Amino acid sequence: MLKGFTTILLKELKELMRDPKILIGMIVLPLIMFPVLGLVLGYAVDTAQQEAQRATLLVVDNDGGNWSSIFVSYVNQTGMNLVLVNNSSPQEIVDQGLLTQSNSSTFIVIPTGFSANLTRHDSGDLTVTGTVNVYSVFNGGGGIFSGAGGSIAGLLVQGFNRAVAPDLIVTSQSSIIKGVIEEGVNASALSSLMLSQSFALPFTIMIMITYAMQIAATSVAMEKEEKTLETLLTTPVDRFAILMGKVSSTIIVAGAASITVLVGYTYMLGSLSLGVTSGLGSGVDLVALGLVPSASGYVLLGVSLFFTLLSALALAVVMSAFSENVRGAQALVGYIYPLIFIPALALIYLDFNSLPLALKAVFYAIPYSHPILASKAVVTGDYGTVIFGIVYVAVFTVVIMYIASRLFATEKILTAKLKIGRQRKQLKE
Amino acid sequence: MSFAVKASSITKQFGQITALADVSFSIKPGEIYGLIGPNGAGKTTTLRIVCTLIKPSSGTLTIFNQDVVKQPEKTRQNISYLPEESGAYPNLTGWEYLRFMAKLQSKSGTDVKEIVNEAATICGLGDRLKDRAKTYSKGMKRRLLVARALMTRPQLAVLDEPASGLDIMHAYHIREIIKRYVKEHGVTVLLSSHNMLEVEYLCDRVALINKGRLVLEGEPKELKVRYNGENLEEVFMRVVGYA
């Protein structure tokens, strides 16, 4: 054994484990974050399952023949809630709002000639099959449960083929995007694609906010540690000017960061195309489907990002006022990280629109959810959600800035210290 | 008589802890006044109250007849503060730091360039002012900061441990700066130190603080005679009962 190794090892472990930054970042944070994330996802899965059990399937019978009746009877036997409509085109179903009325996100169209084709197949012409057309609403949420309706319809057809006649029916999947039918575009595959690309922005936002908070906290804490803040506070300068000068410089950095993220994100979406959804093998890109934000969508997303960063920076400034030094400030800011990580990670997997109200309220209350919600909302043109988020985060920022200005105006900026588990004021002498 | 600083029955509580208890003293214009005492005696708390950083729990303190609690903004126009062991912004050069502080500290209409040149003369750092502060030694940094504190010729300069922890060369330079500048420009100085020999050399009058109370005040010579001590260190130890 190396001489002194154990002694040094024990000392190092003591130092590391007593450092709140390491304790929070490596032990406490994962212990809190992942169970909470698991609870959120579990709750969402339960809710989705309950929704699926209550789901209604709309079947449009444009054939009216023998085989279409058999198919409808089969669907009825599975226990699914069924709404039957006769002689309507897919676009009429969408335009008349029948999906909303029947609380459904998917409908199956049995086309004219369906029974005739199956009769020919039954008579020995195996080259002929019956086709049912499945239309699923694509809401742009990109969650793991998106496109579930289309999958259920697909499973029904598979079940029918197994129970009644092998390979008798094939399905053709199409999407309803913003009220417009996109023939041949599989909503499930589109959701998978959106899910795969939806990782990029939340991760970037997560990194950007945490990094910006560290910079702002370090900036104030360094002023305290080096006592340059004490010097500044004794100059004949308005204390609010000191605070605003500090925050404004980080606003400029935040603005630049928002623009950089948007430029990269725009390029990524613009270059993304999908070639697997069409049964005919033709490529479908997101720009053509209108699943890329418009110019005003990008502006709103930028504003949302900017205000979120601003609120994070203001909060970091306030929190660092309670620390004695840079390490302390970084540790304090670490407490905020779960509020950044959990919404970012959860909203990658979850379709916000399908979440229960209570969970929605929790996500709405967390300011750092909003740019992630905005990134999805601008795709579907849901600008109301984005604007609400911007207003909410702006109000939150104003409140935090007010608290910060009060701190700077009093001696608390020098004397207040927050300790883990207790709050106490200390004096130097 | 008009005083540069007049503290009357200053008390400061931090929660349950009494940092200062009923402290009273006065400083004449142009005087170098030293607060001496051990660590934790209440020196920095007193200086912070003088500089409007914290408010006294009770008592009054005026600087050139301005109440520091009621008129903090006006007070700040006439003072300059050097905190103990303070630093400069590491990524600014010496020149940039002085220019930045001169803009904040100077009154409108004054020539910032002139003030900065004055600071450059005071600190004597020459071409090193072009370098970033993070490359300075502790002594150089302190010289820069003392120059910053004096460059605007404030009515009252408050210096917390101005030469603490410096080598003999830099400590000597800083003491000389303070002594010379006061004589030349009539600046009043309130400084704190736990180096009693330094205080004895610099100060016209001193106050001994122990456990938040002002236990003795007077001219160093007079105190040495009164307590039969060779230096202020011995005087202090006798006053607090250790010798």
pLDDT grade, residue A429 (50/70/90)? very low
Contact A429 B42 (CB under 8 A): yes
Specify the pLDDT at position A140.
62
Contact A230 B40 (CB under 8 A): no
Specify the pLDDT at position A197.
63
The mean-pLDDT minimum among A260-269, B48-57, B133-142 falls in A260-269
Specify the pLDDT at position B145.
95
Contact B15 A424 (CB under 8 A): yes
The per-residue pLDDT for range B190-215, each reduced to its tens digit, is 999 888 888 888 999 999 999 999 99
E-only strand ranges, A283-385: 284-285
The nearest CA of chain B is from the CA of A414 a distance in Å of: 8
Specify the pLDDT at position A126.
67
Q: Give B81's contacts in chain A (Cβ within 8 Å).
A: 230-231, 234
The nearest CA of chain B is from the CA of A326 a distance in Å of: 14
Residue B95 makes CB contacts below 8 A (sequence gap 6+) with B116, B120, B129, B130
Query: At what angle are helices A29-54 and A357-365 packed, to 10 degrees?
Result: 140
Neighbours of A232 (CB within 10 A): 19
Q: Is B168 on the interface with A (CB under 8 A)?
A: no
Domain at A55-193, CATH homologous superfamily: abc type-2 transporter like domain (3.40.1710.10)
Separation of alpha carbons B220 and A194, rounded Å: 80
Residue A45 makes CB contacts below 8 A (sequence gap 6+) with none
Specify the pLDDT at position B1.
65
CATH assignment of B5-239? 3.40.50.300
Nearest CA-CA partner of A197 in A348, A305, A344, A383: A348
Q: Give A416's contacts in chain B (Cβ within 8 Å).
A: none
Question: For residues B67 and A207, is the Cβ–Cβ distance under 8 A?
Answer: no
Question: For residues B209 and B35, is the Cβ–Cβ distance under 8 A?
Answer: yes
Q: Which of A234, A424, A427 sits opposite B53 (nearest CB)?
A: A234
Specify the pLDDT at position A275.
46
Contact A228 B17 (CB under 8 A): no
Q: Is A227 on the interface with B (CB under 8 A)?
A: yes
Residue A115 makes CB contacts below 8 A (sequence gap 6+) with A63, A64, A65, A66, A67, A68, A130
Residue A42 makes CB contacts below 8 A (sequence gap 6+) with none
Q: Give A227's contacts in chain B (Cβ within 8 Å).
A: 83-87
Query: Token pair of A423, please?
Result: 């709050």
B32-36 and B205-210: which strand pairing? parallel
Q: Is A2 on the interface with B (CB under 8 A)?
A: no
Nearest CA-CA partner of A296 in A399, A379, A209: A379
Look at phi and psi of residue A123 and say left if phi exceeds 0, alpha if psi is from -120 to 50, else beta: alpha
Residue A424 has pLDDT above 50, yes or no: no
Query: Token pair of A314, please?
Result: 């203001």
* Residue A166 vs residue B190, higher pLDDT: B190
The mean-pLDDT minimum among A37-41, A157-161, A254-258, B94-98 falls in A254-258
B156-167: average pLDDT = 90
Q: Is B41 on the interface with A (CB under 8 A)?
A: yes
Specify the pLDDT at position A214.
85
The nearest CA of chain A is from the CA of B20 a distance in Å of: 9
Q: Give A235's contacts in chain B (Cβ within 8 Å).
A: 76, 101, 104-105
DSSP tag of B4: S
Separation of alpha carbons A209 and A233, rounded Å: 28
Q: Give A425's contacts in chain B (Cβ within 8 Å).
A: 14-15
Q: In chain A, which residues fall in CATH 3.40.1710.10?
A: 55-193
Separation of alpha carbons B221 and B224, rounded Å: 5
Q: Give B146's contacts in chain A (Cβ within 8 Å).
A: none
Separation of alpha carbons A131 and A145, rounded Å: 25
Which residue type is seen at A123? S
Specify the pLDDT at position A421.
43
Percent of chain B with pLDDT over 70: 99
pLDDT grade, residue A148 (50/70/90)? low
Q: Give A326's contacts in chain B (Cβ within 8 Å).
A: none
ipTM (interface predicted TM)? 0.93
A180-182 and A130-138: which strand pairing? unpaired
CA distance readout (Å), B144 to A171, A295, B89: 81, 52, 12
Q: Which of A232, A236, A429 sits opposite B45 (nearest CB)?
A: A429
